[in-house]
Amino acid sequence: MRYGRLTDLVRLALQMQGRADGLSLDDIGESYEVSRRTAERMRDAIRDAFPQIEEISEPGGRKRWRLPPGTAGRFADPTLEDIATLHRGAELARQSGDTVTADNLDTLSDRLRARLSGPKRTRLEPDIAALLEADGVALRPGPRERIPEETLNDLRQAILAGVWIKVDHRARASGLLSRNARLGPLAMLLGEGRQYLIAYSDWAKDVRLFALAGFERIELSNEGFERPEGFDLQAWMQRSFGVWQEDIYDVVWRFTPAAAPDARTYLFHATQEMIDEPDGSLTVRFRAGGLREMCWHLFRWGDQVQVLEPQTLRELVAEQVERFREVYTEADLVEAEK
């Protein structure tokens, strides 16, 4: 029985041509979420279509397959959807403050357009212009930080090169300036709101967060940095709600029946469990730290959500509500006295 999904086979041919070490059956199965037998049928279909396929034997008997450069021919030409996707990605990166990635994606889009043949480019250009306008990513209103492009470039270079950096960094909360701090950069957290560098602090001997807006000087060294043994970025991030690394709590929220349909579309945390209650309400459970950020998020839902656990978060929400009440009560009194 032959494998018959043409779109998958075209993509598989491009992957086999684009990777110097080729693909194994395990790679095919994982990429397309198919059984080993289906992966074998897909490989056989590519082998029938492209007899020049190369078989590579690895130690231990495992095999990989690759196509020589140019084998896929015009299949490798960019499509209208490819260019539109790059444009969308560039706009999202630019809005999140990552202008370096946005510029690189724009350059890649230009390169793809340049690969189109004259007649094809002539036919596609009007469609590309219309699609980019229709598919434009609207600028989302709201505050976001402006990070100097030089800061992003230096940190990205250090991460890719795997080297230590020396920095002058001003703490957001205290305003104190740390000079010549030695950091091992691991990753940047970009997006809405505050933006951070995740780095190993040679002084604290631990992984910490550093606000990108706080960097006043960055100097790359020639000394290689190796991430802490056993450090898993995803696991480290999943400990928190947002970015703050704090003690982990069992968190339980209950959304009203009116808010449940909307809440059901949210990914509040990677470990979340959603339970539909008989009365139409929705219970969300997960494990994380970062209670203050949870509190800030919960205010978006107003009286449509109730904190069931932990008690510490219930008290924090109640405390913030009381502070708001006091502030606005005082403001009303001042206004009345005028």
For residue 37, the domain's CATH number is 1.10.10.10
Claim to verify: residue 42 and residue 94 sit in the same structural domain: no
**Confidence at residue 1, expressed as pLDDT on a 0 to 100 scale:** 41
Give strand pairing partners of 23.
65
Mean pLDDT over each residue of the chain, to the nearest integer: 81
Is residue 17 in some structural domain? yes
CA dihedral (113, 117, 118, 124) positive or negative: negative
Counting the structural domains of the chain, the total is 4
**Confidence at residue 6, expressed as pLDDT on a 0 to 100 scale:** 73
Claim to verify: residue 82 and residue 108 sit in the same structural domain: yes
Average pLDDT over residues 276-280: 95
Residue 338: band (very low, low, confident or very high) from pLDDT cuts 50, 70, 90: low
For the cut 60, the answer to whether the pLDDT of residue 179 exceeds it is yes
Average pLDDT over residues 275-283: 95
Is residue 311 in some structural domain? yes
We report the CATH number of the domain holding residue 319 as 3.30.70
Claim to verify: residue 45 and residue 114 sit in the same structural domain: no
Is residue 19 in some structural domain? yes
Helices (H), 33-148: 36-49, 80-95, 99-115, 118-134
Q: Rounded distance, CA 186 to CA 180, Å?
A: 18
Claim to verify: residue 206 and residue 154 sit in the same structural domain: yes
Is residue 338 in some structural domain? no
Tokens of 199: 């780095």
Average pLDDT over residues 187-215: 84
Domain span holding position 111:
78-134
For the cut 60, the answer to whether the pLDDT of residue 312 exceeds it is yes
Among 37, 53, 75, where does a domain finish?
Answer: 75
Average pLDDT over residues 168-172: 88
- Write the DSSP symbol of residue 240: B
Claim to verify: residue 253 and residue 296 sit in the same structural domain: yes
Claim to verify: residue 198 and residue 254 sit in the same structural domain: no
Q: What is the pLDDT of residues 17-62, one digit of tens each?
A: 878 788 888 888 888 888 888 988 888 888 887 888 888 888 877 8
**pTM beyond cutoff 0.85:** no
We report the CATH number of the domain holding residue 153 as 2.30.30
Q: Which residues contact 20 (CB under 8 A, 6 or more apart)?
A: 66
Claim to verify: residue 211 and residue 276 sit in the same structural domain: no
Claim to verify: residue 170 and residue 118 sit in the same structural domain: no
| Nearest 10 degrees: Cα torsion 83, 88, 90, 95 | 170
Is residue 330 in some structural domain? no
Q: What is the pLDDT of residues 219-236, one digit of tens each?
A: 999 999 988 888 887 777
Q: Rounded distance, CA 225 to CA 307, Å?
A: 42
Q: Rounded distance, CA 105 to CA 46, Å?
A: 30
Q: What is the pLDDT of residues 122-162, one digit of tens each?
A: 766 666 666 555 555 554 545 556 778 888 889 988 988 88
**Confidence at residue 11, expressed as pLDDT on a 0 to 100 scale:** 80
Is residue 232 in some structural domain? no
Claim to verify: residue 82 and residue 62 sit in the same structural domain: no
Claim to verify: residue 155 and residue 200 sit in the same structural domain: yes
Largest CA distance in the chain: 89
For the cut 60, the answer to whether the pLDDT of residue 289 exceeds it is yes
Is residue 234 in some structural domain? no
**Confidence at residue 121, expressed as pLDDT on a 0 to 100 scale:** 66
Is residue 332 in some structural domain? no
Q: Rounded distance, CA 118 to CA 30, Å?
A: 38
Claim to verify: residue 128 and residue 174 sit in the same structural domain: no
- Write the DSSP symbol of residue 61: S
Q: What is the pLDDT of residues 69-123, one digit of tens each?
A: 777 656 666 776 777 778 778 877 776 667 788 888 888 888 877 777 667 667 6
